[in-house]
A and B are shown apart, each in its own frame.
Chain A
């Protein structure tokens, strides 16, 4: 019986989900927001490759709009997956920083 697999949040997925955690955004708004908080410019092809994958995984969903710039929002599953992923990242970051502190002086 297949087990539930954790969603793949590699590549730009974490950045996109983090941006959508702030509210619904369309492709270009996502690009600008991510550029602002992460200093990373996601190109249009990569952006839609990731949006399509996240939508198929059920982590984001499109919002009805009259504008052809269709906005997306985070789903409950997406929020949960982002929370778990960021917690795990924080744990790794904290351990890394703690161990680096132990090394302080070794390279001076």
Chain B
């Protein structure tokens, strides 16, 4: 539906409006079509100064282009299967980060409580079992997923050109600084965690104490205490400082890792297929973890008190984890279908040239 008026805007104003609308598209698209698209928009704005259908069409198409670029949506015409697989897999990895941070914060809260007393709740038992097993599965998946990158980064550092090595210096340094900060901080504060309180008889829970205490110390900043400054003020200053520094160290580590992957050698088609499968496994593991968390959140447990009782922040974390899971699943689907297409192309190439190995 168009609402048209005769108040034709000045060309400058039309240019500004066109530029604003063009920004709804991803950068790669703008680099190719941005200039000519803005010219069409200016002509359209000058002819129909106010058009709801124009804005709606740009919002719809710009959003679609962004979702395709992010690997969340499959483009019917996209033939760059490797790029779709890469962006889909990267998005699964990115959505796993907030999911795991929030999930581990919830899990460590239950772990702390269980070290002191059994929750006496079947729902919490099931939840803890699911979350603990899937946390271990996440650790294994992370190691498996890292292997090809560790190999290619090591090869670049040993055999790569000086330029290639220089490109990796800053990201690796950032990762190292962040990781050392995290290690020292979690080790220091993990020793004083409320799960043991220094008592040797504590540690009756499901999870080994040193693992639980490290995860508690790494997620201690994810807390509703930020909304209660007076209660937070009662914490030791060193712990408040750690609660502020820990996310900085985490961001530094993750940024360093992402830059290392981005600046490193691109993965071969075969390694990409492998990473995509790991990403699909990660998305499935997220479902199992969230099922555990949901089991705890929504089980009716009026008798449960203390840390085993879910609070508002736990429900918010659950909602955010569900959002991250939806994104991860859509991205994993795109990545898997892209690698299937990549495989078909590779096999077709092999059929045409049987002498050549079917690798990318």
Partners in one complex: yes
Residues of chain A having any CB pair with chain B under 8 Å? 1-2, 8, 26-28, 31, 43-49, 51-53, 56-57, 67-70
Contact A1 B61, beta carbon cutoff 8 Å: no
Whether the Cβ atoms of B36 and A45 lie closer than 8 Å is no
Interface SS majority for chain A: helix
- B31 lies within 8 A of chain A by Cβ: no
25 A-B pairs (CB sep. < 8 Å): A2-B344, A2-B345, A26-B36, A27-B37, A27-B39, A27-B40, A27-B43, A28-B40, A28-B44, A31-B44, A43-B53, A43-B54, A44-B37, A45-B54, A45-B57, A45-B58, A45-B62, A46-B61, A48-B61, A52-B29, A52-B32, A57-B77, A68-B38, A68-B39, A69-B36
- Let me know if B33 is at the binding interface, CB within 8 A: yes
Complex contacts, B351 vs chain A, CB 8 Å: 1
Number of interface residues of B (CB under 8 A): 33
**Contact bitstring B47-72, A, C-beta under 8 A = 1, else 0:** 00001011011111110110000000
By beta carbon, the residue of chain B nearest A72 is B36
Q: How far is the CB of A26 from chain B (nearest CB, A)?
A: 7
Are the C-beta atoms of B40 and A46 separated by less than 8 Å? no
Q: With a CB–CB cut-off of 8 A, which chain B residues contact A49?
A: 61, 64-65
Could you say which residues of chain B place their CB within 8 Å of the CB of A56? Answer: 77-79
- Residues of A contacting B64 in the complex (Cβ-Cβ under 8 angstroms): 49
Q: What is the CA–CA distance of A57 and B76 in the complex, to the nearest angstrom?
A: 11
Answer whether residue B118 sits at the interface, using C-beta atoms and an 8 A cutoff: no
**B39 partner residues in chain A, CB cutoff 8 A:** 26-28, 67-69
Task: Give Cα distance in the complex from A44 to B348, angstroms.
Answer: 38
Min C-beta distance of A39 to chain B, whole Å: 15
Known: A2-B344, A27-B36, A43-B54. 13 other contacts (CB 8 A): A26-B36, A27-B37, A27-B40, A43-B51, A44-B40, A44-B58, A46-B57, A48-B37, A49-B64, A49-B65, A52-B29, A56-B78, A69-B36
Contacts of A70 in B (CB 8 A): 35-36
Q: How far, in angstroms, from A43 to B2 measured CA to CA in the complex?
A: 11
Judge if B352 is at the interface, Cβ distance under 8 Å.
yes
**How many whole Å from B55's CB to the nearest CB in chain A?**
9
B41 within 8 A of A: yes
Q: Which residues of A contact B58 (CB under 8 A)?
A: 43-45
| Inter-chain contacts of A27 with B (CB < 8 A) | 36-37, 39-40, 43
Across-interface contacts of B37 in A (CB, < 8 A): 27, 44, 48
| Contact pick for A44, options B35, B54, B77, B345, CB 8 Å | B54
Docked CA distance A70–B54 (Å): 20
